[in-house]
Amino acid sequence: MALNIENIVEEIKGATILELNDLVKAIEEEFGVSAAAPVAAASAGESEEAEEQTEFTVELTDVGDQKVKVIKAIREATGLGLKEAKAVADGAPSPVKENVAKEEADSLKSALEDAGASVELK
């Protein structure tokens, strides 16, 4: 039985973040591999970013007391559904958005902080 790559890609496109996370974990467990980038590649990327960082990751470090407001802010910023946004909030510290421009990262950070969350730009 041959793999149908197009079907697999279409299925992945339609999956939620939680389903993709479960898929990655299952592949890691089944084949004994890790989805993490190699250390040498990560350190090379960090030296390039030290020169001029143009893309940022907005990481939710703590939800705070106003969890509902934070979930609403995550939904507005990312377009995620309620279940996925709640999973991001419950999984803190976790990235909310990755590889975004400085202006968008600052805007998202202030929106989440206004909702009562602790946020870090990376």
pLDDT at 50 over 70: no
**For tokens 């299925």, what's the residue?**
11
Q: Where are the alpha helices (DSSP H) in 1-122?
A: 5-13, 17-31, 39-51, 67-78, 82-90, 102-114
The confidence score (pLDDT) of residue 46 equals 56
Task: Output the pTM of the full model.
Answer: 0.53
Mean pLDDT, the chain, whole residue set: 80
In this predicted structure, the answer to whether residue 19 has a pLDDT above a threshold of 60 is yes
Please report the domains of the chain, with CATH numbers, ordered by start residue: 1-34 (no CATH), 53-119 (3.30.1390.10)
Cβ contacts of 112 within 8 Å, gap of 6 or more: 58, 60, 70, 73, 74, 77, 96, 119
Q: Which of 9-13, 44-48, 70-74 has the lowest mean pLDDT?
A: 44-48
